[in-house]
Structure 1
Amino acid sequence: MHERAGTPATESDLIDVEALVRAYYERRPDASVPEQRVAFGTSGHRGSSLTTSFNEHHILATTQAIVDYRTAQGITGPLFIGADTHALSAPAQTTALDVLVANRVRVLTDEFDDYVPTPALSHAILKWNNDPARRAEGEADGIVITPSHNPPQDGGFKYNPPHGGPADSDATKWIADRANELIAGGLAEVRQAEPSGVETYDFRGNYVDDLHHIIDFDAIRQSGIRIGADPLGGASAHYWAAIAERYDLDLTVVNGRVDPTWSFMTLDWDGKIRMDPSSPSAMASVLEHAGDYDIVTGNDADADRHGIVTPDGGLMNPNHYLAVAIEYLFAHRPKWGADAAVGKTLVSSSMIDRVAASLGRRLWEVPVGFKWFVPGLLDGSVGFGGEESAGASFLRFDGTVWTTDKDGILLCLLASEIRAVTGESPSELYRKLVERFGDPAYERTDAAASPAQKAALGRLDGDAITASELAGEPITAKLSHAPGNDAAVGGVKVQTADAWFAARPSGTEDVYKIYAESFKGPEHLRAVQAEAQRIVGDALGAAAG
């Protein structure tokens, strides 16, 4: 923990926006340098112009690659495009429009030149594609320009195909490979033209007007609860006021500032400015309002993540809130299918497993990455899909799809519905879950690993683990594929009756991530974490040998 974590940013912490944007246009990536290549992680290509990892040439090439991918897939409808409030997002959108217009792609940008949250873009794609008349004109897809909660100097570029959610690995690999090929070729095959004839779309109006199909606003309004919403300077900045007006809520936007330096933020755990609504350090200023409202919420820069603050519990751990949301939703959405499953990522809390079992619902456990929930949310076979990193979405009242990408605005509104309908805060409801199912201790830590070790861990098979016990308990499962869809997890998960750990290589650092949880308390968790490093180390050593 950095000594200044949770304290206000100072002048020395802020980026030079002019220098950042200048570097976007001036620096030229070298496709032979790994750090300067286009690389899609679990949620798009990210980098900074200052490290020559997110520059004009990256976006020119990536946009042309997306155009080429659309052609190969037979996607002929409009492309929705939106950007968040990061300083590099607006230049990247201008660059992308140059390429899209030159390639005669029908493009729809925001009608009010506003920022576009990730869930609003997903909603727009699905609204188009679920309308038979519009779909007859061709399937729509989209680009959202955001590095999510990353620091102010970063940029991000995400592609959402016609299913509305994050592109799968096959699509992102194709796009990244093609983009790097175009950069290596000096962008000779990239078409550019001055943007003209670009159409507009009311992302905010369409999204806000449709929310009554998924949130019980009557209950919220009649309860009279007081709501505070902090967009954290992100793309939801103008959405919260629109929601308050449209549904006549006692909702106050506690901080409506948009500033590409994020000078109003408190520093995150590592001393960096990071708009993470699940981090107590980053949310320190929001927590000051905990006693002023019945529910206070926060979102990250593209509003795909949520932070929930209650007067009695402070900032909720994302795993805790997901468990509460799941129990509430499956008890208050009678039109959801009887077989609609509870979706969770492999590294989310096992409290969710216990809640799902008590509801008699099937648990659908998938690898890390929201893209895995897309098919189930589309066909209604998954009622709720959530990640431990505070990202989730769920079905409309009638059991049909809402978004296939994470929706932080939605999950924040749900907290108010829960408070209004039950008369209890999500924190109080989580304490009741603890009384029923136990009190899990959960933590993520990092362990050093060389590139070769990380590669070996990503390929590791559960059968390579020879241990039979974990922190004094018999091991019940050794997983290298997710139980829900049998997809490779890119690491391993080891389980016992009361504890588990999962180990995955980092995509950006020479470490591997260890997620661990124990229902036997913090001391047992420490034992699980220590043995996890030993077990993984032994397996990697055996693989190397």
Structure 2
Amino acid sequence: MHERAGQIARPEDLVDLAALERAYYEITPDPSDPGQRVVFGTSGHRGSSLDGGFNEAHIAATTQAIVEQRAAAGITGPLMMGRDTHALSAPAWRTALEVLAGNGVTVLVDSRDGFTPTPAISRSILAYNRGRDRGLADGVLITPSHNPPRDGGFKYNPPSGGPADSDATKAIATRANELLAAGNTGVRRVSFTEARAAAGAADFLGDYVDDLPSALDMDAIRDAGVRIGADPLGGASVAYWGEIADRHRLNLTVVNPVVDPQFAFMPLDADGKIRMDCSSPSAMASLIRAMEGADRYDIATGNDADADRHGVVTRDGGLMNPNHYLAASIAYLFSHRQAWGAGVAVGKTLVSSSMIDRVVAGLGRRLIEVPVGFKYFVPGLLDGSVGFGGEESAGASFLRLDGSVWSTDKDGLLLALLASEIFAVTGESPSALYKGLTEQYGAPAYARLDAPASREQKARLSALSPADVTATSLAGEAIEQTLTNAPGNGEAIGGLKVVTKNAWFAARPSGTEDVYKIYAESFLGADHLAQVQSEAKMVVSAALAG
């Protein structure tokens, strides 16, 4: 924990915006350097212009690769493009627009020339494509999500509305790096003036806000007079929250309407960096303090920079652990969405809390456990067979009231508003709802830690099979399952999960650091969790050595 974690950033913590933009245009990445190539993780390509990881050449090449990918897939409709408030998002938006126009792609941008949350683009893609067999739309989101102000990000959503699958992102990254290696001679591009004139417009904000009653009981929230404090954390949802308050006549205050690419108003995260992580008590310190003060809000919420994540603060529980809120949301939704069919399932990532497993079993629902990555929930949300998909990192979405698809990407606005619906309908906070679940199912202790690993060890961890694990017990309990593929869809975990009756751990290599991540949980208390974590390292080390 950094000594100034939770304290407002100082001038020396702030990025030099001029240097950041200058580096975007002036630094030419070296394709032979792995750190300067296009790499699509679970949420697109991310990096900083200062490190040669997110520069004009990257965006031009990646956009050209997306153009070719969509053409190969027969996608001929408009491409919807949004950006968040990070400093590198604006120049990347200009570059992408120039390349898209140079290739004759019809682009729809925000009609107000404003910022656009990821879920608004997802919902708009699906709305446009509804009932169409051809001329389908897709989208690009220019955002590094909750990453520090020095970073940029670029991700692609196909006509399904959610994150592109691994085959598509691999093809895009491969082609982008080919273009980079050739000096981007294969990139077609026009001037920004020409590109901007050719772009169409869409009211992403108005369409999203007007459509919310199809997914949430907005009448209940308004009629109950729930006092809501919404903090966009300087991100793309800033204008959305004001419109939500006005159009739906909610007792909602935008706690901080400031947009500042340096994010100078942010408290430092646990590691001393500025990070718009709405699940972090350090980053959310200002909003937590606001709830501890005067009796102003019943529910307070925060979103990251592209609003695909949610943070929920209650008066009786403070900032809710993301796993706790997922469990409470599932318990509420599947008890209050009467139009959802009996066969509608619940989706979770394999590193999310097993409290979800117990809640889903208690509801008599089917659980679908998938690897890390929201893309795995897309098919089920799209056809309505999965009512709720959620990740332990505070990302989730769910169906409309009638059981049809709302979004196939994470929607932090939707989940934030759900907290107010829960309060309005039940008279209890989501924290109180979760407390009731612990009385019924037990109270788990959950944590994540990092352990050192070389590049070779990380590669070995990604390729493990259950047979590589020789241990038969974990922290005094017999091992019941050893998984390297997710039980919900059979996809490779990219690591290992070991399960006992009352505990589990999962180990996954980091994509950016020489460490692997150990997620662990125990229903037998904090001491047992510590034992699980300790033995998990030994189990992994033995498997890697074998």
Q: TM-score range by the shorter chain?
A: over 0.9
Q: Indicate yes or no: 2:167 matched with 1:170.
A: yes
Q: Which amino acid aligns with 2:207?
A: N
Deviations 1:248-285, CA, capped at 9 Å, x for gaps? 00000010000000000000000000000000000000
Q: Indicate yes or no: 2:380 matched with 1:376.
A: yes
Structure 1 counterpart of 2:527:
523
Structure 1 counterpart of 2:334:
330
Which blocks of at least 5 consecutive residues in structure 2 are unaligned? none
> Taking structure 1 as the reference length, what is the TM-score of the superposition?
0.98
Structure 1 counterpart of 2:426:
422
Q: Indicate yes or no: 2:159 matched with 1:156.
A: no
Which blocks of at least 5 consecutive residues in structure 1 are unaligned? none
Q: Give the Cα separation in 1 of the matches to 2:344 and 2:290.
A: 37
Q: Give the Cα separation in 1 of the matches to 2:176 and 2:433.
A: 48
Aligned residue runs from structure 1 range 260-409, under 5 A: 260-291=261-292, 292-409=296-413
Deviations 1:423-463, CA, capped at 9 Å, x for gaps? 00001111111111111000000000000000000001122
Structure 2 counterpart of 1:60:
60
SS at match of 2:154: strand
Aligned residue runs from structure 1 range 201-216, under 5 A: 201-216=202-217
Deviations 1:475-511, CA, capped at 9 Å, x for gaps? 0000000010010000010000100000000000000
Structure 2 counterpart of 1:11:
11
Q: Give the Cα separation in 2 of the matches to 1:465 and 1:80.
A: 46
Structure 1 counterpart of 2:436:
432
Deviations 1:319-373, CA, capped at 9 Å, x for gaps? 0000000000000001112111010000000000000000000000000000000
SS at match of 1:540: helix
Q: Indicate yes or no: 2:136 matched with 1:139.
A: yes
Q: Which amino acid aligns with 2:452?
A: A
Structure 1 counterpart of 2:515:
511
Structure 2 counterpart of 1:471:
475
CA shift, 1:4, in A, is: 0.8
Structure 1 counterpart of 2:186:
189
RMSD of Structure 2 on Structure 1 (CA): 0.6
Q: Which amino acid aligns with 2:22?
A: R
Structure 2 counterpart of 1:120:
120
SS at match of 1:238: helix
CA shift, 1:131, in A, is: 3.8
SS at match of 2:140: strand
Q: Give the Cα separation in 2 of the matches to 1:431 and 1:347.
A: 21
Q: Which amino acid aligns with 1:297?
A: T
SS at match of 1:494: strand
Q: Which amino acid aligns with 2:396?
A: A
Q: Which amino acid aligns with 1:120?
A: A
Structure 1 counterpart of 2:82:
82
Q: Which amino acid aligns with 2:102?
A: A
Q: Which amino acid aligns with 1:256?
A: P
Give the conservation status (yes or no) of the 8 Å contact 1:119–1:403.
yes
Q: Give the Cα separation in 2 of the matches to 1:432 and 1:370.
A: 28
CA shift, 1:222, in A, is: 1.0
Q: Indicate yes or no: 2:464 matched with 1:460.
A: yes
Runs of 4+ off more than 3 Å: none
CA shift, 1:205, in A, is: 0.4
SS at match of 1:8: coil
Q: Give the Cα separation in 1 of the matches to 2:539 and 2:163.
A: 33
Aligned-pair identity in percent equals 68
Q: Which amino acid aligns with 1:276?
A: D
Aligned residue runs from structure 1 range 103-118, under 5 A: 103-118=103-118
CA shift, 1:71, in A, is: 1.0
Give the conservation status (yes or no) of the 8 Å contact 1:29–1:57.
yes
Q: Which amino acid aligns with 2:479?
A: I
Q: Give the Cα separation in 1 of the matches to 2:137 and 2:50.
A: 34
Structure 2 counterpart of 1:536:
540
Deviations 1:224-270, CA, capped at 9 Å, x for gaps? 11000000000000000000011100000010000000000000000
CA shift, 1:154, in A, is: 0.1
Q: Give the Cα separation in 1 of the matches to 2:257 and 2:523.
A: 40
Structure 1 counterpart of 2:417:
413
Q: Give the Cα separation in 2 of the matches to 1:525 and 1:74.
A: 50
Give the conservation status (yes or no) of the 8 Å contact 1:280–1:315.
yes
Q: Give the Cα separation in 2 of the matches to 1:461 and 1:415.
A: 40
Q: Give the Cα separation in 1 of the matches to 2:483 and 2:330.
A: 25
Q: Give the Cα separation in 2 of the matches to 1:40 and 1:100.
A: 19
SS at match of 1:157: strand
Q: Give the Cα separation in 1 of the matches to 2:108 and 2:467.
A: 50
Deviations 1:378-409, CA, capped at 9 Å, x for gaps? 01110000000000000000100000000000
Structure 1 counterpart of 2:506:
502
Instruction: Report how many aligned residue pairs link the two structures.
Output: 539
Q: Give the Cα separation in 1 of the matches to 2:198 and 2:41.
A: 33
Q: Give the Cα separation in 1 of the matches to 2:204 and 2:481.
A: 45
Q: Indicate yes or no: 2:257 matched with 1:256.
A: yes
Structure 2 counterpart of 1:233:
234
Deviations 1:172-205, CA, capped at 9 Å, x for gaps? 0000000000010011110010213110100000
Q: Which amino acid aligns with 2:210?
A: D
Give the conservation status (yes or no) of the 8 Å contact 1:77–1:139.
yes
Q: Give the Cα separation in 2 of the matches to 1:206 and 1:18.
A: 35
Structure 2 counterpart of 1:100:
100
Q: Give the Cα separation in 2 of the matches to 1:149 and 1:164.
A: 21
Give the conservation status (yes or no) of the 8 Å contact 1:337–1:380.
no
Structure 1 counterpart of 2:130:
130
